Amino acid sequence: MEKTDGLSHLISEAESPSGEQRFNQFMQKLGKNPNSKNLDLNNCALSAADVAELASLLPFLQELEEISLSWNGCIGGTLKALTVHLHHVNLLKVLRLNNCRLTAEDVISLAEILPMIPDLEVLDLSINTHIGSSMKAIAQDLKNVPGLKELNLHMCGLKHDSLQGLDAALQHLAELRKLDISCNKEIGGGFKDFTAHLASLKNLEILDLHQCCVTEEDVTVLSQVIPLLSNLQELNLSSNKNIGVSPDPLLGRLRFLPKLKSVAISNCDLSEELFSSLAEAALHLPELEILDLSWNKCVGGNLKLLLGALKLATEIQVLRLSSCNLVTEDLTLLTFLAQDGHLGRLRELDVSYNNNISDEGWLLFCQGLAAFKELSVLDVSLRPSSCRDCGTWFSELLAALPQLPALAELGLQRWLLSESQRKQLESFNQDNKRNIRFDC
Contact 201, 176 (CB under 8 A): yes
**Are residue 265 and residue 304 in the same domain, yes or no?**
yes
Kindly state whether residue 355 falls inside one of the protein's structural domains.
Answer: yes
* pLDDT at position 12 over 70: no
Express as a percent the part of the chain with pLDDT over 90. 87
Nearest CA to 424 out of 391, 404, 398 is that of 398
Kindly state whether residue 263 falls inside one of the protein's structural domains.
Answer: yes
* pLDDT at position 78 over 60: yes
Nearest CA to 286 out of 314, 265, 308 is that of 314
Mean pLDDT within 94-113: 94
Task: Report which DSSP code applies to 439.
Answer: E
Mean pLDDT of the chain: 93
Residue span of the structural domain in which 435 resides = 337-440
- 309 — phi, psi (to 5°)? -65, -40
**Are residue 310 and residue 355 in the same domain, yes or no?**
no
**Which helix H or strand E contains 437, and what residues bound it?**
strand 437-439
Kindly state whether residue 431 falls inside one of the protein's structural domains.
Answer: yes
Kindly state whether residue 300 falls inside one of the protein's structural domains.
Answer: yes
Res. 16 pLDDT band, cuts 50 70 90: low
**Are residue 364 and residue 402 in the same domain, yes or no?**
yes
Kindly state whether residue 2 falls inside one of the protein's structural domains.
Answer: no
Point out the domain boundary residue: 279, 299, 325. 325
pTM over 0.75, yes/no? yes
Kindly state whether residue 308 falls inside one of the protein's structural domains.
Answer: yes
* pLDDT at position 120 over 50: yes
Number of structural domains in the chain: 2
Kindly state whether residue 85 falls inside one of the protein's structural domains.
Answer: no
**Are residue 341 and residue 314 in the same domain, yes or no?**
no
- The DSSP-derived string for 289-358 is -EEE-TT-GGGTTTGGGGHHHHHH-TT--EEE-TTS---HHHHHHHHHHHHTT-STT--EEE--S-TT--
The Cα–Cα gap between 411 and 414 comes to 9
* pLDDT at position 19 over 70: yes
Q: Give per-residue pLDDT as tens, 21-63.
A: 999 999 999 999 999 999 999 999 999 999 999 999 999 999 9
| CATH number (domain holding residue 311) | 3.80.10.10
* pLDDT at position 13 over 80: no
Q: Give per-residue pLDDT as tens, 420-439.
A: 999 999 999 999 999 999 99
Point out the domain boundary residue: 303, 325, 347. 325
Buried b or exposed e, range 138-150, using 16+ CB within 10 angstroms: bbebbebbeebbb
Mean pLDDT within 175-201: 94
Task: Report which DSSP code applies to 17.
Answer: P
* pLDDT at position 14 over 50: no
Q: Give per-residue pLDDT as tens, 290-299.
A: 999 999 999 9
Higher confidence at residue 195 or residue 318? Answer: 318
Q: Give per-residue pLDDT as tens, 308-356.
A: 999 999 999 999 999 999 999 999 999 999 999 999 999 999 999 999 9
Res. 248 pLDDT band, cuts 50 70 90: confident
Point out the domain boundary residue: 325, 352, 376. 325
**Are residue 346 and residue 387 in the same domain, yes or no?**
yes
**Are residue 366 and residue 420 in the same domain, yes or no?**
yes
